[in-house]
Amino acid sequence: MITATIVIIILLTILLWLFSDLKLGRKNHLHVVGKREYPMRKSDIELFTHGEELFSDLFTELKNAKKHIHILFYIVKNDKISHDFLTLLAKKAKEGVEVRLLLDRIGSKKVEQPYLDQLIQDGGHFSFCHLPKPPFFFYSLQARNHRKITVIDGRIGYIGGFNVGNEYLGQDPKFGFWRDYHLKLTGEGVKDLQTQFRYDWEDATGITFPKTDNYFPELQQGNTEMKLVPTDGAYLQEHFLELLNSAKKEIIIGSPYFIPGKRIFQTLLDLAHRGINITILLPKKADHMLVKEASFPYIIPLLKSGVSIYHYEKGFYHAKTIMIDMKMCDIGTANFDKRSLYLNHEINCYIYSEQLVHTVREALNEDLSHASIITLQQVKKRSVIHRLKEVIATLISHFL
């Protein structure tokens, strides 16, 4: 009896600590974080939807780098593409190119230290970011840098959903074909990617690099109107709501996870009731436990409101995009879930070019051709175990 009482007291103490850590950590975070948004720019933008094409292009540009390479990834793994990536960066550092590599500590927990040591030994600079730290250890453990940024010589930039790992090349037998959206930028917008990397590098290391022509060369305007929108565990919900409420006819949402929270969920319902045609594309396969189950409490009322929801079946769908009325689209790192809305540091690119929006729509149409529509009849047949998982997933949906 005494032992059971002690166990209960310990469990309650842990729960109280976790609750306090999260509440106070969130309060502190919102106190110090600010809303940031870069100006409207004109850039030339290329869309990549296949990992092999993206990494072939990226590696070519890295090999051609002359001055500096700045890279931030959420995930780099311990596999062939990761080893090739890190070896190439070390080689460029040895050639005299300034290399700065920033990785999220939790996302890149599998990266092999010898490759990082070699990069540093050859003259490169490396740091993990978002190391869990007191006084709000559990909150800082959850708030991760989910951005993916590459800037080469201050003139070429990349942003999007791909990380570095064999699965992103479609080489994981569990997921098979991997569908994702990633952008290559040249022109004015690259200066904002460089500014964002500089912000993240200083935040992680306490060290900065100067705003000189070496890092911020003069750039010509491109053909595509665009704007970069970074969020630091706050304000993403406001950005998404602004986009959704601007729709007059149609909204298309693509995301690997769909846990939108109350305000966005209610907005989607209201828009559907107003006659806005809403399509949501999600993966049929799940890459994390309970994320699929966490979406069903939102999916069912949306289906009843006339929203069309599809499951992608060709492989794994990891793209993050919102398209509004064929007039603009958003592609970036933010998922349509609570972790991106309230915890992770993200960066998205708003695109206002009719031509590029049309290109993205073609990609979405192709993805929808490999998807099956979800019906109310199907969801009503969910098993008892599935429904139980939904309850559990709802309770912890903030951290999925």
Q: Which residues are catalytic?
A: 146, 148, 153, 318, 320, 325
The C-alpha atoms of residue 20 and residue 14 are separated, in whole angstroms, by 10
Closest CA to 150 of 109, 99, 116, 104: 99
- Rounded to 10 degrees, the C-alpha dihedral 352/318/238/358 comes to 20
The C-alpha atoms of residue 320 and residue 333 are separated, in whole angstroms, by 6
Which residues are registered as beta bridge partners of 70?
100, 151
- Radius of gyration for the alpha carbons in the chain, expressed in angstroms and rounded: 22
The amino acid occupying position 253 is: I
Closest CA to 120 of 148, 101, 145: 101
Is residue 316 within 8 Å of 178, Cβ to Cβ?
yes
Closest CA to 216 of 183, 245, 193: 193
List CB contacts of 189: < 8 A, sequence separation 6 or more: 38, 41, 42, 43, 45, 157, 222, 226, 228, 349
Residue 301 CB: number of other CB atoms within 10 A? 14
The C-alpha atoms of residue 328 and residue 347 are separated, in whole angstroms, by 17
- β-strands 308-312, 277-283 pairing: parallel
Is residue 87 within 8 Å of 178, Cβ to Cβ?
no
- Rounded to 10 degrees, the C-alpha dihedral 89/92/97/103 comes to 0
Is residue 115 within 8 Å of 79, Cβ to Cβ?
no
Is residue 213 within 8 Å of 317, Cβ to Cβ?
no
